[in-house]
Structures are given as C-alpha cells and as structure tokens.
C-alpha cells in the first residue's frame, strides 16, 4: 500500500513563528503536492513539486514556501505564521504518468494563535 505520512496530526503555533510541515511518501512518486482544506472552499493547491528541487506555485502560494531536497520528502514552510493560515493541510503524491490517482496523507490540523 502507498503510504503518505505527515509528521504531525495537530499543531498549535504562535503568530510570527516559522512553521515546518513535513511529508514523506514511500512509493517513489515524482509528483508531490501541498493543499489546504477549508470549509466551503475545498482543497486549494498551495505548491507542487514534479521532481527533486523542482517546484511550481499553485493557486494560493502567498505566505508559504516549499522544499524538496529528496524525492520522498516534501516540506511546507510558513515563514511567519498568521492566524489566517489556521487550516487543515494535506500532502499528496502521485506518479508522473497519465490517468493515475493522487494518494493523500491524513492531514495536519494547524492552529495559529
């Protein structure tokens, strides 16, 4: 079974802190993604990476950055956390081939106070 593991299920951080969300996948997938999920807005793409050290902005990249130094690991960084970044964050990975599915982690519920 494909496994996408996010390092934390719940996080509480203070405004202004630098926050790291980590994601690891074990299926050698080329593509990895970070989404945030908010009620009524669905899953919105923050960043995705199609290969090591390669990244592309999604629909809502402001306030976030990412790092992909190894194929299996994709990190989301909140440079200076703000209360409007309180959300559920979901990591996903998929192979770089057509007509295949994305596999999601369990999510990280981040609260910024």
Which residues here bind another protein, judged by CB under 8 A?
4, 30-31, 33, 35, 40-45, 48-51, 54, 56, 58-59, 90, 92, 94, 96-102, 104-107
Instruction: Closer to another protein by CB, 56 or 79: give it.
Output: 56
Q: What is the DSSP string of the chain?
A: ---EEES-SEEEE-TT--EEEEEEESS--SEEEEEEEETTTEEEEEEEEEETTEEEE-S--TTEEEEEEETTEEEEEESS--GGG-EEEEEEEE-SSTT---EE---EEEEE-
Supply the minimum distance, in Å, between the C-beta of residue 16 and another protein. 29
At closest approach, how far in Å is the CB of 18 from another protein? 25
Residue 14 or 98 with smaller CB distance to another protein: 98
Cβ nearer to another protein, comparing 81 with 94:
94
Closest separation in Å from C-beta 37 to another protein: 8
62 burial via Cβ count (<10 Å: 0-12, 13-18, 19+):
exposed
Closer to another protein by CB, 15 or 100: give it: 100
């Amino acid at each position: 079974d494909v496994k996408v593991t996010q390092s934390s299920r719940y996080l509480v951080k203070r405004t202004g802190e630098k926050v790291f969300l980590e994601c690891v996948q074990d299926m050698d997938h080329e593509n990895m993604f970070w989404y945030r999920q908010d009620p009524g807005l669905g899953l919105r793409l923050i960043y995705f990476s199609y290969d090591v050290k390669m990244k592309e902005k999604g629909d809502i990249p402001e306030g976030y950055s990412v790092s992909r130094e190894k194929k299996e690991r994709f990190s989301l960084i909140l440079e200076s956390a703000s209360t409007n970044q309180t959300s559920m964050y979901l990591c996903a990975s998929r192979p770089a081939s057509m007509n295949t599915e994305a596999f999601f982690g369990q999510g990280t519920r981040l609260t910024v106070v």
